[in-house]
Chain A
Amino acid sequence: MWKGLFVLFISFLLLLPGIALGLTGEEIIKKVIDRETSNTTQARIKMTLTDKKGGKRVRDILSYYKKYGKGSKSFIRFLSPPDVKGMGFLHWEQPGKDQQFIYLPELKRVRRVAGGQRKKSFFGSDFTHQDMERREADADNHTLLKEESVDGHETYVVESTPKNLEDSQYSKVVQWIRKDNFIPIKADFYNKDGKLFKKLNVEGLEKNEDGTWTVKTTKMVNLLNEHQTVVELVEHTTNKPISDSIFTERNLAKE
């Protein structure tokens, strides 16, 4: 009898959708966070902001990124437009502890950025400072909703809700994560009222020689004001040595 029950149990498990047999939502998100990425990236980025009337504003950015153990450091400098040219931004990211600094050329001053400002728009774009930070997996509850094919790629659809609503600018984020490389290629962002208000799409994924992947184009659309931001990688190098001195206040203050 026990043997019969065991066979029935196994048969039941096999009949369950692949979800239950595969990864959980949390495991998928952990794989997204832990996936192999380049140790360094140096890039020239073009950020195009488009309003609902089609008016465009373009920002040219020089960007550096380097891994430091479980953390990372990134540095960006605005090359244009003229009203923000020379402005710099430094981000030291460590698990559970982030530090951000901004350089204001007209004041010749480096300022530490308070956490509250991280929820603000990143220089007029549809991304916030917090969108560009790595969010720890255990900050949210993750649920695998389904599996779906997007543009010919099999994806996991994972819903993440913050454990502490105050800690996040979103009430819910739903991501479409490619099964083959664990890169989110689509995401829906819900505001605190539970309303879908931003949609992210990743285009032009490119595999590097070292096996890591580079996202060439990212588009974020704000559905409420019909504003959108396209971030394009104009040129980039990965895994080339970048001096630690790039990620210092000393460098930040050099226009």
Chain B
Amino acid sequence: MAFRRTKPCPFFWALLSLIIAQFLHAQAFAEGTEVGGFLSSKLVPLFETTNSFQDSLEFRNKLYLKASSQPSEGTKLLLSGRFEYNGFLKGDGEGDYYHLSQVHEAYASLSFQNLDLNLGQKKISWGKADLSIVDNVNPPDLTELYFIEEEFSKVPVPMAQIDYFPGDFKVEGVFLPFFTPARFTITGRNWSLISPQLQDLFAGCGAGEAGEELLGGDYTALGIIEYPKDDIVSSSSFGARVSGGRGGYDFGASYLYGWEPLPTFYFNPDFLRQLRNQRGDLFDKLCSISALDVAAFYPLFQARPRRVNHAGLEFATTVEDVGIRAEVAGTFRRGLFTEDLEVVEKPLLQWTLGADYTFPWDIYANAQFVQMIVLYYPGNLFIIRQVNNSVVGYVRRSFYDDKIHPELRGMYNMTQGDFYVSLQLAYDWTDALKVTAAVNIIGGPWGSSFLGFYSDNSHASLQVKYSF
């Protein structure tokens, strides 16, 4: 992770951001060069803090700058940067403050007669569905789970991309010379892979202070994460996609030889053996092993990204006033946890069907069904069933001269009855200034569903975003 701990200086950061924003406001600083971006500030209070690992209040300040230039016909350069100053306050008032500054996208785009060549760090989109199951080239940013701005939901990746356009079709090839990890934290934040609820469970069920220290602090005290070496031979990915449209129908097919977005955690075999000897469910077993025993198993885990093959098909059309989108995806050799925390490799088959429609009164609705099937199901996978059906969607409309935008968004049953519901109200104060208030409710059965681990993180948010 590129986070660095620093002393809090929100006023300095805000001032600097405003000065830059004002300076760059809607002007080109060189002929043919355009600059834009946004400055946003978001407050996220939890409705309730149930354990000491939760941040009761997050504030996230982001400055996004994007400059693009077209030095000649058919040539385009783009550079964007992301600067963040984030604060996380515990219930007792103790706070952690981080800042981040990094290049977001940086690439050159060259266009020829029927060929485009893109070189550099960028994001691309594959697929037709809103929640695409074939869009796997860029790893996700999971630091805010589902509540991150769309601009930042994917991590840009260094790549060479060639698009060839024979007639109505597009043949696309991508080569990613290096491995780029997803953005996430393992512990310590509300949206970490080990959620505050899980941390609290381990800390409270016998691990004691030692366990709290282990799980609340730096993960390196527990185990090792190994990323692929920065050499092309061992870490590169590649893929291809063919897409096109005929007679009102859009089609696509893709293949990617890449990486799983998150590293797979392989636990110490001795630890797993001891775990198997305990009684109860997984959490009873985990709790029955003392922190000192855990420490004795160092490294408790060795985590590493896994190679994976993705193949996908896409389809979109409109039937009367209904937009239809569908995708099928096969993922080969996906690493999954058993209930004993062992890793098994299974192929996954997913398909999705989505539709959107505008009802009377300009109410726009978008719904999508996703089914994930674990082939050769071993019978004891953690959280994931053999057939997993989920629904995701949103409804929105605009009021008051298109200035007020209420939106209801939700997902149900990603794993075993979990859900989130988001009610959002955005107000366009001006074309440049938008204020958004939201209530996000997260729930699900504890211990048997993914979002169940985050169900204490229901929260409100208030964001002010100034675009320039």
Contact = CB atoms under 8 A, between A and B. Distances in A.
Interface of A: 49, 51, 57-58, 80-83, 85, 97, 99, 106-109, 111-117, 119-121, 123-124, 225, 227, 248-250, 254-255
A115 B357 CA distance: 8
B105 to A, nearest CB: 10
28 contacts: A49-B401, A80-B26, A82-B432, A83-B431, A83-B467, A85-B36, A99-B248, A108-B124, A108-B125, A112-B250, A112-B317, A112-B318, A114-B321, A114-B356, A114-B357, A115-B320, A116-B357, A116-B358, A117-B321, A117-B323, A117-B358, A117-B364, A119-B362, A120-B362, A124-B398, A124-B402, A254-B76, A255-B68
A192 to B, nearest CB: 9
Contacts of A112: 250, 316-318, 323
A83 B318 contact: no
Interface in B342-375: 356-359, 362, 364
B432 A116 contact: no
A106 B322 CA distance: 23
A51 B123 CA distance: 38
Contacts of B357: 114, 116
Task: Give the 5 A-B CB pairs with smallest separation, nearest first.
Answer: A116-B321, A114-B323, A124-B402, A81-B431, A116-B358
Given A107-B125, A124-B402, A83 B321 contact: no
B431 A114 contact: no
A114 B434 contact: no
Interface in B115-173: 116, 123-125, 149-151, 163, 165, 170
B297 interface: no
B452 to A, nearest CB: 29
Contacts of A119: 358, 362
B407 to A, nearest CB: 15
B165 A250 contact: yes
Contacts of A80: 26
B248 A107 contact: no
B323 A227 contact: no
B208 interface: no
Contacts of B434: 83
A82 B125 contact: no
Main secondary structure of the interface of B (DSSP, over half): strand
Given A49-B401, A106-B150, A115-B321, 4 more contacts: A49-B402, A58-B431, A82-B431, A121-B402
B358 A120 contact: yes
Interface residues of B, number: 43
A121 B150 CA distance: 23
Interface in B408-443: 428, 430-432, 434
B318 A82 contact: no
B322 A250 contact: no
A12 to B, nearest CB: 49
B110 to A, nearest CB: 12
B298 interface: no
A51 B401 contact: yes
A244 to B, nearest CB: 12
Given A115-B320, A124-B402, A82 B358 contact: no
A109 B125 contact: yes
B245 interface: yes
A30 B151 CA distance: 47
Contacts of B125: 107-109
Contacts of B59: none
Contacts of A111: 316, 323
Contacts of A109: 125
A117 B366 CA distance: 12
B163 A120 contact: no
B83 interface: no
B36 A82 contact: yes
A92 B357 CA distance: 20
A200 B316 CA distance: 36
Most B C-beta atoms less than 10 A away, residue of A58, A114, A225, A249: A114
Given A82-B468, A107-B150, A57 B321 contact: no
B332 interface: no
B38 interface: yes
Contact of A81 (B163, B318, B467): B467
Contacts of B428: 83
B338 to A, nearest CB: 36
Contacts of A250: 116, 163, 165, 170
Contacts of A97: 248
Contacts of B402: 49, 121, 123-124
A255 B111 CA distance: 13
A57 B432 CA distance: 10
A233 to B, nearest CB: 21
A57 B429 CA distance: 11
Nearest to A100: B318
Nearest to A50: B401
Nearest to A112: B316
Given A80-B26, A82-B468, A112-B317, A124 B362 contact: no
Interface string B75-106: 01000000000000000000000000000000
A48 B330 CA distance: 48
A255 B434 CA distance: 22
Contact of B467 (A82, A99, A116): A82
B323 A121 contact: no
B401 A227 contact: yes
A114 B151 contact: no
B322 A116 contact: yes
A183 B72 CA distance: 40
B362 A121 contact: yes
Given A115-B318, A120-B362, A82 B150 contact: no
A81 B465 CA distance: 14
B150 A249 contact: no
Interface in B300-352: 316-318, 320-323
Most B C-beta atoms less than 10 A away, residue of A112, A119, A124: A112
Contacts of B431: 57-58, 81-83
A111 B132 CA distance: 13
Contacts of A85: 36
A119 B364 CA distance: 11
B375 to A, nearest CB: 29
Given A82-B38, A108-B124, A255-B68, A114 B432 contact: no
